[in-house]
Amino acid sequence: MTTAQDTTVIIDTGCANLSSVRYAFERINANVTVTDNIDAIKAATRVVLPGVGTARAAMLSLNNKALINTITGLTQPVLGVCLGMQLLTTQSTERGGDTNDCRCLGLIDTAIGELDSQGLPLPHMGWNQITTTAHPLFNGIAPGSYVYFVHSYRAPISQYTIASSQYGEPFSAAIAKDNFMGVQFHPEKSAAIGAQILKNFMKMTSNSLNPQRSEVAQ
């Protein structure tokens, strides 16, 4: 249930197909704003971090917009989508022509590497099944549900994995730590399953992820 003060911001990273993400939220009747305004991002009830392209280009864009410190300081629910998920990690081998690995936001202690497809075509593109955990992002999502992927890099299976999939090797379809969570797949392209995941995210607030904070507020 939302209130008049309930706001959801999609960060204008400068390197994402913002329209498709915004339309996906609008299809579930969510009121979302696309902006790179720092005050609006800090004040939002929840934040979406989208991204397409290379990690290095995305991080450069965030740096140019002076958004890195803002994002790393957020305490409300934050959802990274596709490349946005990868940016939540410590680093990526998707170097974008550089010789060094790309430093990411460092919010979830895992790193991005090239997907070992074991001979299957890359990028991994199309529908694939996910195995989920009890994380609230996947409430009502049956094991083995299909979602839509387009990627050549992945986060490995780790303690931060909240959903997994397999394409050659097992990999993290979603990761989370505290208020930060990310999905490797495209919920905006994943039909009813993707819509349910976005609805689940829209129910999250800082208090719902931190019951102790809610008790103090009372």
**DSSP SS3 for 162:** strand
Determine the Cα angle at 164 with ends 163 and 167, to 5°. Answer: 155
d(CA 58, CA 69) in angstroms, rounded, equals 15
Catalytic residues: 82, 186, 188
Q: Residue 164 carries which DSSP code? A: E
Sequence-ordered alpha helix ranges (H) in 28-128: 38-43, 55-64, 68-72, 83-87
Spatial CA neighbour of 111 closest among 163, 196, 172, 38: 172
